Structure 1
């Protein structure tokens, strides 16, 4: 049977034409099926997405109705919901969660590193810290009218403005409060800045720029401009864990990079050096802006009369609070570092030192991790700390060095390592004399030998100018005196009463000690029931 193709324009007349016509018709059928299927799939997918949105919208409407939300709040919630659905497919988290962490860091670095580096807070920090910072951040999009930060609340997130427009308001007059750097120059002498109005816009000079943080110390978004110095408030924000003093709202659709406080704490523990540098940069910016403000005001005017003076005084308070917070962070990290040295945790020490932590950091007693490790005898930890240039000659508030800790606690292997790295006891003469005299008085010969191996001053004298040799002679400790003599002790040194070690031996009637001086002991009459002809030869007198 021969069937025509199309509208009968082509009718096969042979077997070959029939086969060709059949193939052509099958091809048309497949193409049409694919087209219809694709269209159907697009409709279904679009309808599915729309269905999810409609379902979420219905749930929102029921929720708003149940709790009696006003129309304005309900409208804002709907706007945020629609914004989230419109941008869900292009959000970073939706795309990058398919890829490994290394690839994710590379993409985030390409997208947001220029913005992040524009922030002066990141100057001097390590590249690993910046990468980890980006990896811990999330990108969020907010609809107009949303409050990013609320006055008198404790900030739990740090915001980095990427795109959009923000406005800042104060509670005093419910006015928008803003100033640019040009406004500072022109009106700083006679303006009450708490009543000015305006907006903060990304990318414009004098306003919040791309790559600037919004709430480092609880101020408005333009931290690096003069405004936040003029709106100076006695609180700090994200980094200093204090109240937010302004309300920050979105003026337009805003894209921000968000870092939670919990993530930042973990980051600060992993990168203590860079976290400390970040806080130092923050303090530096506060100092710079405070200097700019102080150059425009008269500090002799009473603060009650002149609002500029109040601004300056509160700025100084903020500086003190930041310094206090930096000190607290440093103390926490030092405690962690010393505790790691105490238990021999070289892994933690390596991580902290690699991230820029100072191995010479000390606690309230000025004790360093090297002193703690030396006291505990953790030789591997001592070697690790010295490899990171820990100073072996630092002393604590009691004048104790790492070498003395190792010597006192009988850790000869640790003491050898410290001496190899140039360690000294770092004792004053009076302290060295006290230590030697105490060892000799107690008869601790082993400690005496260790102190001498640690190159202590064997001729050190105390406030009475008495040396360890005087004590050894007076205590009849012949072995201690011999050790001191071999170490170079000067037996001719006189104390404040003019006595030498030999005089002390004579007074103590120490015959064995006098033998070192080559002096025979002569006793009067029957004193002591003994008589000595030569040193070391004492016979009982019958």
Structure 2
């Protein structure tokens, strides 16, 4: 269980370090991603479990459920607080019980806040230290949260009903900020229609302002002395023949609806039903409320207008074209590229196509020209790409993205996983080593045309140094996955990059420890290359094999059985590959662990043309124990292979450890076809084994008449020649 929690802790740290390494723009998307994947986050625990302290990650699944649960009570508190302020005499005891329950829930939430990790606004890092968390919350929102949890009704009654105490109840509305955060969260959620969310938010603001104003206005009337109640707006109110003179005896719902009605009519300013102030307090309130109403009306109308205007396709096109023109002016693009971009955007507008960004919508051909115009000269100056082909560099510039970083921002954090390689276009940065006691040691300064993150990305190791901005920087970056895909296509350039990487870090004394990692990567790459060579030879992929050998792959590379590339190609019958390997000076007489040569592989597989080709280039069978091998073929009745071997010069009278020839074995087994082939290639029927037996003796002992006849006929011919 402990190992699982530590693993979860590491996952959190990787996500947080990745978040820390981004600029302010990408940090928003990283945060949004974390919120959408909150189910993957788990609770973090402090290493010192003896204290029993648990640190909660803000994206922990259970904590997020708790936050949503508390959000419901925040909405309740925001609605009830004005009611309790204005209608405190009319509310029932049940409301008091519910308030007590809400106070308990908010106290629990306050307690949890002392153990919830937070992100430092200055360093943008997650803070997991419990003392730092407690100090941060205690010096910030704790006091206001504590005031909001105070039972102000009980305190109000206990202090002789001092009205100043009741005003402290409004501290509970500090909880409304969380409701606003909730609206911001769902506004950023692309799964929810932004227009609908904004409309709901604006309606909520309007209704809540009316609700609050109604409660305050009734409060002004109910706090007047009973003998002066007719000197209030509601005490002097008459609707037809109905009078509100004894309004304190009326029920809560009637009073609330009446107050809400007149406030709503006043807010709408339709000229009928407006509240008329009776006393000075009400006049002051109406002055403030009407002024607030004008501001709120302007806010609502402005927001609705903005929503409608931004929904106009023409307006979006005009804004987008203005931004693109400014971008092209800043980058000094040629007229040809300018016209192509504008024409394409005009086409998209006419076709009513949606775009996430003008760069994404540009055709690949135009985008390639744009990338080459902006980035090619910069990439050529990067030491890592020295000596690489133009085609390779063109593929690199196609995958580059551009970002800007302000001074003081941390781009890469020491010890984090690196997913991009960064190239400096303008500005300067520094690489620093962070010690265990947070000491900082300057490693190097990074200037234009330099790059960073390349070792960590290519070697799949954590980032060795922290990289932070000194001056405003324009950074070009390429994803590790995109670079890896390009390197697989351009094998020769990939080797050049690895050599450049090794040379650059060998020269830099501060980065000497990284040389071993780069050397390991080169060794790994060579192993992958050799595997690719063998795979191409096995599958007959001539062009892939040619590309690999052109990139520096050794044609004589061996596998775990000692088989070279030409062994594999000869056994599989790929004549064009065998011919190509011979041209590349491949060793044609190399023996594998089993003593097989390329020619033997071709002969056994029956590839006559390849066997002839190998013979023409000096190949020999090189059978170390031909007698044993031929005897085994004879015993297995493999006539075809035996015949081909004899055809290519293997001695038919080769003997095994018992001095038996293949003809001995064929005669003893009664294999007349094998015996005939051996005799045809000059096998001696009179050869004796270690026991003095001849093949004829073996044939007679087996009782196979065809074999005996063949052997006797061969003996007679041999005697006649003799």
* Normalised-by-shorter TM-score class: 0.5 to 0.7
Residue 477 of structure 1 contacts residue 513 of structure 1 at CA under 8 Å; is this kept in 2? no
User: In the alignment, what sits opposite 1:505?
Assistant: 696
User: In the alignment, what sits opposite 1:174?
Assistant: 438
Deviation at 1:445, TM superposition (A): 1.6
Q: Which has the higher contact order (CA 8 A, sep 6+)?
A: 1
Distance in 1 (CA, whole Å) between partners of 2:491 and 2:710 is: 61
Out of 418, 427, 434, the residue aligned to residue 164 of structure 1 is 427
Q: 1:359 to 1:365 in 2, by over 3 A?
A: same
Out of 407, 410, 413, the residue aligned to residue 150 of structure 1 is 413
Are 2:642 and 1:448 aligned?
yes
Cα distance per residue 1:122-142 (max 9 Å; x no partner): 45x555444544444445443
Q: 1:369 to 1:176 in 2, by over 3 A?
A: same
Deviation at 1:401, TM superposition (A): 3.8
Deviation at 1:349, TM superposition (A): 3.5
Distance in 1 (CA, whole Å) between partners of 2:523 and 2:533 is: 15
Deviation at 1:212, TM superposition (A): 4.1
Distance in 1 (CA, whole Å) between partners of 2:483 and 2:462 is: 18
Aligned partner of residue 423 in structure 2, secondary structure: strand
User: In the alignment, what sits opposite 1:404?
Assistant: 600
Are 2:494 and 1:275 aligned?
yes
Q: 1:487 to 1:504 in 2, by over 3 A?
A: closer
Q: 1:281 to 1:71 in 2, by over 3 A?
A: closer
Q: 1:281 to 1:477 in 2, by over 3 A?
A: farther
Cα distance per residue 1:383-431 (max 9 Å; x no partner): 5555665554444443334433333233334434444455444x4412x
Deviation at 1:156, TM superposition (A): 0.9
Structure 2 counterparts to residues 284-433 of structure 1, below 5 A: 288=506, 315=513, 321-383=517-579, 390-425=586-621, 427-430=622-625, 432-433=626-627
Aligned partner of residue 166 in structure 1, secondary structure: strand
Q: 1:367 to 1:246 in 2, by over 3 A?
A: same
Q: 1:201 to 1:360 in 2, by over 3 A?
A: same
Residue 429 of structure 1 contacts residue 462 of structure 1 at CA under 8 Å; is this kept in 2? no
Deviation at 1:247, TM superposition (A): 1.1
Cα distance per residue 1:179-229 (max 9 Å; x no partner): 5xxxxxxxxxxxxxxxxxxx5142xxxxxxx54442333xxxxxxxxxxxx
Distance in 1 (CA, whole Å) between partners of 2:651 and 2:494 is: 43
Distance in 2 (CA, whole Å) between partners of 1:139 and 1:458 is: 74
Q: Which moved more, 1:106-115 or 1:432-441?
A: 106-115
Structure 2 counterparts to residues 245-264 of structure 1, below 5 A: 245-264=464-483
Aligned partner of residue 168 in structure 1, secondary structure: strand
User: In the alignment, what sits opposite 2:377?
Assistant: 111
Residue 392 of structure 1 contacts residue 402 of structure 1 at CA under 8 Å; is this kept in 2? yes
Residue 557 of structure 2 contacts residue 564 of structure 2 at CA under 8 Å; is this kept in 1? yes
Deviation at 1:376, TM superposition (A): 3.6
Q: 1:520 to 1:281 in 2, by over 3 A?
A: same
So what's the TM-score if we normalise by structure 1?
Answer: 0.55
Deviation at 1:461, TM superposition (A): 4.6
Q: 1:285 to 1:165 in 2, by over 3 A?
A: closer
Out of 516, 522, 541, the residue aligned to residue 714 of structure 2 is 516
Aligned partner of residue 253 in structure 1, secondary structure: strand
Deviation at 1:111, TM superposition (A): 0.9
Residue 429 of structure 1 contacts residue 457 of structure 1 at CA under 8 Å; is this kept in 2? no
Distance in 1 (CA, whole Å) between partners of 2:536 and 2:332 is: 38
Q: 1:476 to 1:385 in 2, by over 3 A?
A: same
Q: 1:445 to 1:263 in 2, by over 3 A?
A: same
Deviation at 1:239, TM superposition (A): 1.4
Aligned partner of residue 170 in structure 1, secondary structure: strand
* Max Rg structure: 2
Aligned partner of residue 167 in structure 1, secondary structure: strand
CA RMSD, 1 decimal = 4.9
Distance in 2 (CA, whole Å) between partners of 1:111 and 1:277 is: 19
Q: 1:160 to 1:389 in 2, by over 3 A?
A: farther
So what's the TM-score if we normalise by structure 2?
Answer: 0.43
Distance in 2 (CA, whole Å) between partners of 1:108 and 1:354 is: 31
Q: 1:211 to 1:467 in 2, by over 3 A?
A: farther
Deviation at 1:238, TM superposition (A): 1.3
Distance in 1 (CA, whole Å) between partners of 2:504 and 2:593 is: 33
Cα distance per residue 1:280-325 (max 9 Å; x no partner): 5545666x569x79xxxxxxxxxxxxxxxxx99xx4xx55544443
Aligned partner of residue 429 in structure 1, secondary structure: coil
User: In the alignment, what sits opposite 2:88?
Assistant: none
Out of 630, 633, 637, the residue aligned to residue 439 of structure 1 is 633
Cα distance per residue 1:334-392 (max 9 Å; x no partner): 44444444444445434444555444444433444544444343445555555665554
For structure 2, the 5+ residue unaligned runs are 1-24, 33-57, 59-117, 125-323, 342-361, 701-707
Distance in 1 (CA, whole Å) between partners of 2:686 and 2:515 is: 60
For structure 1, the 5+ residue unaligned runs are 1-55, 75-83, 180-198, 203-209, 218-236, 294-310, 522-533, 535-542
Distance in 2 (CA, whole Å) between partners of 1:289 and 1:127 is: 26
Q: 1:459 to 1:488 in 2, by over 3 A?
A: same
Residue 567 of structure 2 contacts residue 597 of structure 2 at CA under 8 Å; is this kept in 1? yes
Distance in 1 (CA, whole Å) between partners of 2:446 and 2:516 is: 30
Q: 1:73 to 1:216 in 2, by over 3 A?
A: closer
Out of 224, 231, 243, the residue aligned to residue 462 of structure 2 is 243
Distance in 2 (CA, whole Å) between partners of 1:169 and 1:147 is: 11
Q: Which moved more, 1:92-101 or 1:362-371?
A: 92-101
- Number of residue pairs the alignment of both structures matches: 378
Q: 1:88 to 1:520 in 2, by over 3 A?
A: closer
User: In the alignment, what sits opposite 1:12?
Assistant: none
Deviation at 1:486, TM superposition (A): 5.7
